[in-house]
A and B are shown apart, each in its own frame.
Chain A
Amino acid sequence: MTEDLNWAIGGEAGDGIDSTGKIFAQALSRAGRHVFTSKDFASRIRGGYTAYKIRTSTDRVQSVVDRLDILVALTQRTIDENLDELHEGSAVIYDGERSWDAEIPDEITAVDVPLKTLAEEAGGAIMLNVVALGAACEITGFDVEYLDESLEKRFGGKGSKIVENNREAARKGRDYVRENYDFDLGYELDTTDNDYVLLNGDEAIGMGALAAGCRFYAGYPITPATNVMEYLTGRIEQYGGHVVQAEDELSAINMALGGARAGARSMTATSGPGIDLMTETFGLVATSETPLVIVDVMRSGPSTGMPTKQEQGDLNMTLYGGHGEIPRFVVAPTTIDECFWKTVEAFNYAEKYQTPVYVVADLALAVTEQTFSPETFDMDAVEIDRGTLVDDDSIGEWLDEQGRFRAHAATEDGISPRAIPGTTDGAHMSTGLEHDELGRRTEDTEVRVEQVDKRNRKVETAKAEEDWDYREFGDEDAENLVISWGSNEGALVEALEYLEDEGIDVRILSVPYIFPRPDLTDDVEAAEDVIVVECNATGQFADVIEHDTLTRVKRVNKYTGVRFKADELADAISTKLSEEVPAQ
């Protein structure tokens, strides 16, 4: 009956919530169902409410909704936190034998399963979450066998006995419900022949980096960017690369800068507070014309803000951060698969234009897992453009009369030749000080202007040469235009349906480029009403749109720390459309 099912497990941090959720999500994905996950977590290791939510359907799902069908509750707080989302057809699986009396509203089906006892029978209390998974399978008509491979993947490293025990635990959960309950909530999880892959934005960024030939990564752990480093560690070595966990972010970006100057495709990833620290060196990267990819996985700020919560507050920082005027590129993936492709693009821009490139993702992309067809990440389509790299043979035309390499030659398109260490006659100096074509310090007024113009000219060249486009959804002739960046795209696309039901037609532009960016003037002028949707309080992208188009726009902002949900976004857009445009 219900194709679209919302499942969650919640408890205290340290209860294995995350891995249990992941096991179920992987099983659904292997069974050919689409999955979209979200996580509620607190900034602590043990204790504190944490939940892993799965929305699954045979159709593609790309946002969260305000509905919960099956909830595995390991604590009362899990029930309380999700009360609003539970409905008459919901079931709550809990363990009545544990030391709390679960308070569950009458209209919700309470499924009391002795999770701990059954887990002990299967070989250990620690498997109680897996017993709950088995119970959930029974309620949703999902074959428990689909869990087997996920359990192997999760516990295979601990030995076949552990895997066997877990499989047994799942079956005990299933059997208990089968034997003790006789209800039908109507859930029937169909399977398909598809085999999807399930990954999150951080992983997609790391995979993109490897595909693009990134060989050197230096970083410092910070939520929610650490997964990028964890992903690369252990994998980058297969390609002759290396990850260094630096002593701080200042060191991380400087190491990455060193790797890049040595000729390796190099990257660092951090979150807002780390970007602050890296900004000192960011100017050096740009001025020395070093190709470098810097990933900012945004979280809620300022200062340490809410480290485990969603926000899109760093747009201004990445667009304007740093003293002086710094040419740069800022790309911002709007979906998890774009995290992969934009990272590949970022490496090409970096080397083609010899400039730092920010890849700006947000927490909602980074920690959310989603299913994709494997072909979404078609490795044959990955192209690598190393730009104007010169070698022993081609360097000749770039030497001056004294045989010195003109590393910062002021070319027409602003792009200079690049020689990496080991290139004969390529030895040259690079510096954050203003410099001449040879890279040597200067305060000569003419050379200063020439070099500033040269560096800025690269951006002009890129604006003309590359496609700084956007993705479009909805009704292309609609009078209402909604503009978005970052992870809001999925919720917006799903909001279209709700808006249609209300008789509201909208055209949606999802923009993955912050700088350079597409010119939206014609689109904005053609629309009656323009709304910019973003997860911040002030509307940083809306400011940029107003600046570009000289037109006031309406703003829908969310800065609670939680991502937009499709239904709430539809409401917000509908309300905003009925309001007057703000005064100039």
Chain B
Amino acid sequence: MSSEVRFTDFKSDKQPTWCPGCGDFGTMNGMMKALANTGNDPDNTFLVAGIGCSGKIGTYMHSYALHGVHGRALPVATGVKMARPDIEVMAAGGDGDGYSIGAGHFVHAVRRNVDMTYVVMDNRIYGLTKGQASPTSRSDFETSTTPEGPQQPPVNPLALALAAGATFIAQSFASDALRHAEIIEEAIEHDGFGFVNVFSPCVTFNDVDTYDYFRDTLVDLEEEGHDRHDLEAAKEVILDADKEYQGVMYQNENSVPYHEQHGVTENMADIPDGAPENAMDLVREFY
């Protein structure tokens, strides 16, 4: 790929099967723009996707990609980044994928501070299985499997990330194209784990967390003069249950990504044709 990469170069020729109006279209467009704007091209980008509507993204974008098993995109992305510090790594999935089955991996990828961008398309519902409660569904949200609502508080993914020692925590709205792409771009440029929870409305199964709802309620942290480097201020907005925010909540200026902490710099794909030159030393150690 040459230097004049356009965002459409990240688009595959496969037509998305997402429902018309799905928030995932906007989420994906922003990701493609951000990748192009940050100087990446499909041949040096690896996208790992989870399962569900959101997981299909790897098919609709063009890059090196793996569509894995449910909830396990982050470990795969971690492996890619460790083996190839030279490659841009992005992981994407939904709220079920990331905060339910993948919650354990989420916490650990955050605390390792692996240098990748993690985009979660949060529609607060299970879409592909046709409308069951997700970990971010409201406690009174009635679905086929929770006729009275889940009757338990939703997971706060931002708080989970904060508690795990995240170095970049952000939230965006798929429909606010410009801001969404800007935020993803910042996550890509962050040295470490760039986490972005994206409000990506499900127009088919969720009639509560709609485009209108987010348009009406969303507060932009930039306009509020929020200081992203202030941990206390970050806690306040992240734990604020009464408002929906977009923007970068927290960024640690001293973030050192996992591979740098561990001195990993080499492209691990390059190996000699036989055993390493000094390999007999490995044997002599057993004298």
* A residues with CB within 8 A of B: 26, 29-30, 195-199, 203, 207, 210-213, 215-216, 218, 235, 237, 239-242, 244, 246-248, 250-252, 254-266, 280-281, 284, 288, 374, 377, 379-380, 382-384, 386, 402, 420-433, 440-441
Q: How far is the CA of A268 from the CA of B40 in the complex (A)?
A: 31
Q: How far is the CA of A424 from the CA of B76 in the complex (A)?
A: 22
Give the shortest distance, in Å, between A416 (CB) and chain B (any CB): 15
Of the candidate stretches B141-149, B228-236, B277-285, the one touching chain A is B277-285
Chain A residues within 8 Å of B241, by CB:
none
Contact status of A431 and B272, CB under 8 A, knowing A207-B283, A244-B82: no
Chain B residues within 8 Å of A248, by CB:
104
Asked whether A420 lies within 8 Å of B269 as measured between CB atoms, the reply is yes
Give the shortest distance, in Å, between A269 (CB) and chain B (any CB): 15
Give the shortest distance, in Å, between A468 (CB) and chain B (any CB): 23
Asked whether A421 lies within 8 Å of B104 as measured between CB atoms, the reply is no
What are 26 pairs between A and B in contact, CB < 8 Å?
A195-B287, A197-B283, A203-B286, A212-B275, A218-B75, A237-B263, A242-B259, A251-B105, A257-B68, A260-B83, A261-B66, A261-B76, A261-B80, A262-B87, A263-B267, A263-B269, A264-B268, A264-B269, A280-B69, A384-B273, A421-B84, A421-B87, A422-B43, A425-B43, A427-B65, A432-B69
Give the shortest distance, in Å, between B93 (CB) and chain A (any CB): 13
Q: How far is the CA of A246 from the CA of B82 in the complex (A)?
A: 13
Contact status of A258 and B48, CB under 8 A, knowing A197-B287, A210-B276, A374-B284: yes
Q: How far is the CA of A281 from the CA of B71 in the complex (A)?
A: 11
Asked whether A242 lies within 8 Å of B82 as measured between CB atoms, the reply is yes
Asked whether B87 lies within 8 Å of A422 as measured between CB atoms, the reply is yes
Of the candidate stretches B55-63, B118-126, B152-160, the one touching chain A is B55-63
Which of A196, A199, A421 sits near B43, CB closer than 8 Å?
Answer: A421
Identify 4 new A-B residue pairs, CB closer than 8 A, beyond the known A427-B42, A429-B65: A213-B271, A246-B75, A284-B69, A384-B272
Asked whether A379 lies within 8 Å of B283 as measured between CB atoms, the reply is yes
By CB atoms of chain B within 10 A, which of A256, A374, A424, A429 has the most?
Answer: A429
Contact status of A426 and B64, CB under 8 A, knowing A199-B286, A251-B72, A262-B83: yes
Interface size on B, residues (CB 8 A): 59
Asked whether A256 lies within 8 Å of B79 as measured between CB atoms, the reply is yes
Which of A210, A288, A382, A402 sits near B66, CB closer than 8 Å?
Answer: A288
Asked whether A284 lies within 8 Å of B68 as measured between CB atoms, the reply is yes
Give the shortest distance, in Å, between A397 (CB) and chain B (any CB): 18
Give the shortest distance, in Å, between B50 (CB) and chain A (any CB): 11
Which of B14, B44, B276, B283 sits near A421, CB closer than 8 Å?
Answer: B44
Asked whether A235 lies within 8 Å of B64 as measured between CB atoms, the reply is no
Q: How far is the CA of A251 from the CA of B263 in the complex (A)?
A: 22
Give the shortest distance, in Å, between B149 (CB) and chain A (any CB): 30
* B residues with CB within 8 A of A: 1, 12-14, 42-46, 48, 58-59, 62-69, 72, 75-84, 86-87, 104-105, 107-108, 259, 262-269, 271-276, 279-280, 282-284, 286-287
Which of A239, A264, A374, A430 sits near B65, CB closer than 8 Å?
Answer: A430
Chain A residues within 8 Å of B284, by CB:
197, 374
Give the shortest distance, in Å, between A428 (CB) and chain B (any CB): 7
Chain A residues within 8 Å of B268, by CB:
215-216, 240-242, 259, 262-265
Chain B residues within 8 Å of A218, by CB:
75, 79
Give the shortest distance, in Å, between B190 (CB) and chain A (any CB): 20
Q: How far is the CA of A515 from the CA of B259 in the complex (A)?
A: 37
Q: How far is the CA of A379 from the CA of B43 in the complex (A)?
A: 35
Contact status of A254 and B272, CB under 8 A, knowing A211-B282, A248-B104, A422-B86: no
Which of A259, A265, A380 sits near B79, CB closer than 8 Å?
Answer: A259
By CB atoms of chain B within 10 A, which of A197, A261, A262, A424 has the most?
Answer: A262
Among residues of A, the one whose C-beta sits closest to the C-beta of B259 is: A242
Give the shortest distance, in Å, between B161 (CB) and chain A (any CB): 15
Asked whether A198 lies within 8 Å of B79 as measured between CB atoms, the reply is no
Contact status of A427 and B64, CB under 8 A, knowing A241-B268, A246-B75, A247-B108: yes
Among residues of A, the one whose C-beta sits closest to the C-beta of B258 is: A244
Contact status of A255 and B78, CB under 8 A, knowing A374-B280, A384-B273, A428-B64: yes
Asked whether B283 lies within 8 Å of A258 as measured between CB atoms, the reply is no
Among residues of B, the one whose C-beta sits closest to the C-beta of A426 is: B43
Which of A259, A288, A421 sits near B82, CB closer than 8 Å?
Answer: A259
Chain A residues within 8 Å of B105, by CB:
247, 250-251, 254
Chain B residues within 8 Å of A254, by CB:
68-69, 72, 75-76, 79, 105
Q: How far is the CA of A242 from the CA of B84 in the complex (A)?
A: 11
Give the shortest distance, in Å, between B71 (CB) and chain A (any CB): 8
Asked whether B266 lies within 8 Å of A255 as measured between CB atoms, the reply is no
Q: How far is the CA of A251 from the CA of B73 in the complex (A)?
A: 9
Asked whether B67 lies within 8 Å of A432 as measured between CB atoms, the reply is yes
Asked whether B78 lies within 8 Å of A244 as measured between CB atoms, the reply is yes
Contact status of A281 and B83, CB under 8 A, knowing A241-B268, A254-B76, A421-B44: no
Contact status of A422 and B84, CB under 8 A, knowing A248-B104, A432-B67: yes
Asked whether A433 lies within 8 Å of B272 as measured between CB atoms, the reply is no
Contact status of A429 and B67, CB under 8 A, knowing A207-B283, A211-B279, A264-B83: yes
By CB atoms of chain A within 10 A, which of B13, B75, B107, B259 has the most?
Answer: B75
Q: How far is the CA of A285 from the CA of B113 in the complex (A)?
A: 25
Among residues of A, the one whose C-beta sits closest to the C-beta of B65 is: A429
Give the shortest distance, in Å, between A443 (CB) and chain B (any CB): 12
Give the shortest distance, in Å, between A150 (CB) and chain B (any CB): 10
Contact status of A382 and B279, CB under 8 A, knowing A255-B78, A257-B76: yes
